[in-house]
Structure 1
Amino acid sequence: MFKGLSTHVKRNKFKYITLVILIIAAILVKEVLIDIVYVDKQYEKNRIITPWGDKIKSGNLSVDYTFDQALIDIEALGLNTVNVPVQIDIPSLNSNTAVINVDSKKKAIQLIKKLRYKGINVILEPYPYIKNGELYETQLNPDDKDVWFQNWKGGVLLPIIHDIAKPYKVYALCIGSNFDQFEKEYNYWTDVSEFVRKNYQGRITYKTNWWYTAAWDTSKNGQHDTYTTKLNNPVLQNVDFISVAAYFELTDKETNTVENLVNSIHSTQIFDRHQNIFEELKNLSSKWNKPVFFGELGFPKRNKATVHPWNPEPSNIFNEQEQANGFQAYKEVFEKESWNLGFSVFAIGKKDELKNYYPCDQSIKVINSWYK
């Protein structure tokens, strides 16, 4: 009798435990579904659909960004996307090694979780950080390209795909950024793009640096024509959109009106180059049938901000209006172009006296109004 009672109690206990487990599982599934629905709704809310198509309105985070400032900037600028960097440590300009910074990777994952919950898209960028950030990726030129590209594929891109891009479903992955010195290595870069396509089904992009041409340079393969190299880069046929770091040199004046900057985008004044930046970007899009995205768009808060936008200190004279005029000019020229996918403000996420590119109040108003 007691033996039968004991068996009955055990059975009931098992049923009770099973029921509790099922209830807990149902609650967890419900919470996950709620989160998924919430995130989907937030993504839909944060899409920017204009008469000229769906647009990306993004900001590049500086490597030393903070979570709080990043979230403040997203709200203030009305962004639907954030360019999240993962620091890639490279010891020198001729180094063949590139190593993911573990702390930067963890930080990126933590932020992306927050951004996903808010419905903010992510462009994930392996960010070349050379000699602790002292040197620029535009000057990187590895001694052994075979070794470097193998490291870039297997040691950088593959772990980032497996550990971040795939599980957190980022909007796009940037497979290379501003590698001016070896961008002509077409076979290597094509191999990189095909490697990424095999391992990642999401969107990919490649970021090329700004260039200049001169109307007076009529020689074949002219010294001042770096545009042809970019225009003919076959890696662009394998990406979903073409990213351009848009630090184009516009004028030779310390300060400029918006009208003058708009005219300069169509015909640059500096060194009488008369470069038609608008047409060159449009042709780049047309050649590869891909939209063009300003992967970096920024101006220092200084006089000469549009003379050398790539220089964080082109002058020692502080000038917020010159920065704002730069953003306004690009807005007036490119906002309505269907082939232009959008822009990413350089740089946000950290605000202090050393951040010359951080947008001033006037620039924030311009950026916030873009696509409205």
Structure 2
Amino acid sequence: MRICIRFLLVVLIAISIAGCSATPVTEQKINGVSFVSSKDTLMQSHIDPILNVGVSHAAVMPFAFVRDKNHPELQFNSERQWFGERYTGVKQYIEALHQNNIMVMVKPHIWIWRGVFTGDMQMDSEADWELFEKSYEDYILLYAALAEETHAELFCLGTELYNFTKERPEFWVSLIQKVRQVYSGNLTYAENWDKVDKVTFWGALDFIGVDAYFPVTDEATPTVVKAKEGWEPHKNLLISLSRKHNRPVLFTEFGYRSADYAGKEPWVSDRHNGKMNAKAQANLYEAVFETFWGEDWFAGGFVWKWFHNHERTIQEENNRFTPQGKEAEQVLKKWSKQDVK
């Protein structure tokens, strides 16, 4: 009897320790790409290049639009939008990707006219906030229901909306509950790198979502070692965040331009005429994978960004974010083929 009691106590202690683990453990890394919405139907020829790279996931991104950052009327699912930005296109993209055994995150975005940053949205009155919230809830629940219907593996509640989350926390608590009622998969929210530690509702989601444009180096063409050194303080922040909320961290976006100084301000997306620097982009990619892919608390990420027309994209010498046809594509392929758990 004593032996049985002692054995039972050992088992209970072991279960208790496991249940109070400071950091979550992810079983399989998400190796994903952010699939750019287009005006075209998604064809097999568009999917074959990402199969060749070996990615496991793709983010599909419906869009909604507002006139300016204080405008409360959100427009979405309009016939004037490109096919891949509205309901029928998102559904077709998901189904085509699933037919190729590529898992999907549905990741709604808001676009403000002239590219004003969505994190700065601020309504002028309580009435405007309520009007905006109603349209945003309709937008999110429409695509959450679609994600459930199509068995999408992940759903993202929004992208880089810090002022909205800060000013209206009760709305977000309610929204999460309503999404849970219509969608049974994993939930995340994508916050910008400089505000990710200020979000209050991570514990209600399945992943801490980060658009990971952290500054890591001032060098024009950084070495992998130098870029990894620049990641250390940011990595420590993310470890602390994961432990605090007992949730794995997911890079809902990460990537770099193929340009000089790409690691200095990685969030900059303005067009400029500088030369292409494929080596800088590739080294920065490698640093991300070497820094994070072996960490149990890290769930993986989605490269920003991947265009559907691969053949046309690789023929264009550009200094933009896409890795297609550049050295960074081979880095992505190398890590996607590895069995990192």
Q: TM-score, normalised by structure 2?
A: 0.80
Matched, 1:242 2:223: no
The answer for the alignment partner of 1:279 in structure 2 is: 236
1:174 to 156, 160, 171: 156
> What does 1:2-41 align with in structure 2 at a 5 Å threshold?
none
Matched, 1:288 2:245: yes
Cα deviation, residue 188, structure 1: 2.3
The answer for the alignment partner of 2:50 in structure 1 is: 74
The answer for the alignment partner of 2:322 in structure 1 is: 358
The answer for the alignment partner of 2:266 in structure 1 is: 309
* Higher relative contact order (CA closer than 8 Å, sequence separation 6+): 2
Cα deviation, residue 113, structure 1: 1.2
> What does 1:1-372 align with in structure 2 at a 5 Å threshold?
53-64=27-38, 67-68=42-43, 70-102=46-78, 103=83, 104-131=86-113, 134-143=115-124, 144-153=128-137, 155-162=138-145, 164-185=146-167, 186-211=169-194, 226=195, 230-266=196-232, 276-312=233-269, 313=271, 316-350=274-308, 351=313, 352=316, 356-359=320-323, 360-370=325-335, 372=338
Cα deviation, residue 75, structure 1: 1.7
SS of residue paired to 1:264:
helix
Partners of 2:156 and 2:190 within 8 A in 1: yes
SS of residue paired to 1:342:
strand
Partners of 2:29 and 2:293 within 8 A in 1: no
- Of structures 1 and 2, the larger Rg is shown by 1
Q: Distance in 1 between matches of 2:38 and 2:111?
A: 12
Deviations 1:235-267 (A, max 9, x none): 11111111100000112222211110011111x
Q: Distance in 2 between matches of 1:369 and 1:326?
A: 14
Residues matched between the structures, number: 293
Change (3 A) 1:332 1:264: same
The one-letter code matched in structure 2 to 1:55 is K
Give RMSD over aligned pairs.
Answer: 2.2
Partners of 2:258 and 2:318 within 8 A in 1: no
Gaps in structure 1 of 5+ consecutive residues: 1-50, 212-225, 267-275
SS of residue paired to 1:294:
strand
Q: Percent identity?
A: 25
Partners of 1:292 and 1:340 within 8 A in 2: yes
